[in-house]
């Protein structure tokens, strides 16, 4: 894969993994990353990457003039759009406006700024399984690309709206946009407000893990490296206008995940505290990813069973990274 990729939100959890993954897999590829460095963005996530192949620009995707300048200057062949407000709890307790502003207006501004760029061959709009809403615990049903959009949180509704904006740019302007919808990611460099790093931080600080309600909330986990490999395939082989679900068939309840952490840190069950449930909490997500497997030949390499402990060990070994980010952004702003 040659040429330049414009990556938005590349200093975040998944974007930084995608950049790392792509630069090491393709020695001739360059990346231009535009990131606003909100509380969730962290330049340390990109540390050690070759600076002759990675250009970092601090900026807002909603700044059309800036995006247009970058496109004119670097003539990217591809765009991968990660930039978003991504934390469900913040969208519930902190107000939905920031989510609509970045995820919907930001996506519209970005796509408007690049829609006449002749260098661009493909755009991947990175979305989430949360746009489909929730599934019942029993019955084994999974989300397909044809499932209805029934988002339940302000985060999910802003992502669903951004998907529709992306689709309309394909239909109206023939912009070669592919939409991907992935399940819950785990792996290194995730900001510590999210379940796994947050729980690790709590346990390491001698505090109990906090679990919403009864904890019987099931998520379909995928290692972030597998998400990155799927996105590269979508970029290379994905058909514009199509949607591809991404998931690794690894359903785990929040309570089961908490118990695995207790085992890892040799703690007793008293190190779990059940807290008041999240409003509108989705019971279960499960992704049917047969389309991307069948049509693009994607296959995940990790299983939650094998890669969960490696992920936990990474956070334990990288407490310095976590503490530095904490000092910069303040205490993780969670439901507590």
The least CB distance from residue 139 to ligand NAD, in Å, is 23
The least CB distance from residue 103 to ligand NAD, in Å, is 7
In this structure, is the dihedral angle defined by the CA atoms of residues 221, 225, 226 and 230, taken in order, positive or negative? positive
The least CB distance from residue 289 to ligand NAD, in Å, is 12
The least CB distance from residue 140 to ligand NAD, in Å, is 22
Report the interface residues with ligand NAD, using CB under 6 A: 8-9, 11-15, 34-38, 40-41, 60-62, 82-84, 86, 102, 106, 126, 128, 159, 182, 184-185, 191
Asked if residues 99 and 154 have their Cβ atoms less than 8 Å apart, the reply is yes
H or E segment at 179?
strand 177-182
Asked if residues 13 and 189 have their Cβ atoms less than 8 Å apart, the reply is yes
DSSP state for residue 44 in the 8-state scheme: G
Catalytic residue from among 35, 130, 163, 250: 130
Catalytic residue from among 74, 132, 155, 212: 155
The least CB distance from residue 195 to ligand NAD, in Å, is 10
Radius of gyration in angstroms for the set of CA atoms belonging to the chain, rounded to a whole number? 19
d(CA 223, CA 232): 15
Would residue 155 show up in a list of annotated catalytic residues for this protein?
A: yes
Catalytic residue from among 129, 163, 225, 250: 129
Would residue 130 show up in a list of annotated catalytic residues for this protein?
A: yes
Instruction: Between 106 and 176, name the residue whose CB sits nearer to ligand NAD.
Output: 106
Instruction: Between 14 and 233, name the residue whose CB sits nearer to ligand NAD.
Output: 14
**Nearest residue to ligand NAD, scored by beta-carbon proximity:** 12
Asked if residues 247 and 186 have their Cβ atoms less than 8 Å apart, the reply is no
Q: Where are the alpha helices (DSSP H) in 240-300?
A: 254-264, 290-296
Instruction: Give the residue from 48, 40, 74 showing the smallest Cα distance to 57.
Output: 74
Would residue 189 show up in a list of annotated catalytic residues for this protein?
A: no
Helices 319-329/195-204 angle, 10° precision:
100
d(CA 311, CA 221): 13
Instruction: Between 104 and 271, name the residue whose CB sits nearer to ligand NAD.
Output: 104
Where in the sequence numbering do the catalytic residues fall?
129-130, 155
């Amino acid at each position: 894969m040659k040429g330049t990729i414009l990556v938005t939100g590349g200093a975040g959890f998944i974007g930084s993994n995608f950049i790392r993954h792509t630069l090491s897999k393709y020695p001739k590829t360059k990346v231009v990353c535009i990131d606003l460095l909100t509380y969730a963005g962290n330049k340390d996530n990109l540390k050690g990457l070759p600076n002759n192949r990675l250009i970092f620009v601090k900026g807002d995707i909603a700044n059309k003039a800036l995006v247009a300048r970058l496109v004119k200057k670097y003539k990217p062949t591809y765009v991968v759009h990660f930039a978003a407000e991504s934390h469900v709890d913040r969208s519930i307790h902190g107000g939905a406006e920031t989510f609509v502003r970045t995820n919907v207006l930001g996506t519209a501004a970005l796509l408007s700024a690049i829609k006449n760029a002749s260098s661009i061959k493909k755009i991947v709009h990175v979305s989430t399984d949360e746009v489909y809403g929730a599934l019942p615990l029993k019955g084994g049903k999974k989300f397909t690309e044809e499932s209805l959009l029934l988002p339940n949180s302000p985060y999910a509704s802003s992502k669903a709206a951004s998907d529709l904006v992306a689709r309309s740019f394909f239909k109206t302007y023939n912009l070669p946009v592919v939409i991907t919808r992935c399940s819950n990611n785990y792996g290194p460099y995730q900001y510590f407000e999210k379940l796994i790093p947050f729980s690790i931080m709590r346990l390491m600080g001698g505090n109990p893990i906090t679990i919403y309600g009864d904890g019987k909330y099931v998520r379909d986990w995928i290692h972030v490296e597998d998400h990155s490999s799927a996105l590269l395939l979508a970029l290379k082989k994905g058909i514009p206008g199509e949607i591809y679900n991404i998931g690794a068939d690894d359903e785990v309840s929040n309570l089961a995940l908490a118990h695995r952490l207790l085992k890892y840190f040799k703690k007793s069950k008293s190190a779990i505290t059940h807290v008041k449930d999240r409003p509108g909490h989705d019971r279960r997500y499960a992704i049917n990813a047969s389309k991307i497997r069948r049509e693009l030949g994607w296959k995940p390499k990790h299983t939650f069973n094998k890669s969960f402990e490696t992920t936990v060990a990474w956070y334990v070994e990288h407490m310095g990274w976590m503490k530095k980010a904490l000092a910069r952004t303040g205490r993780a702003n969670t439901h507590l």
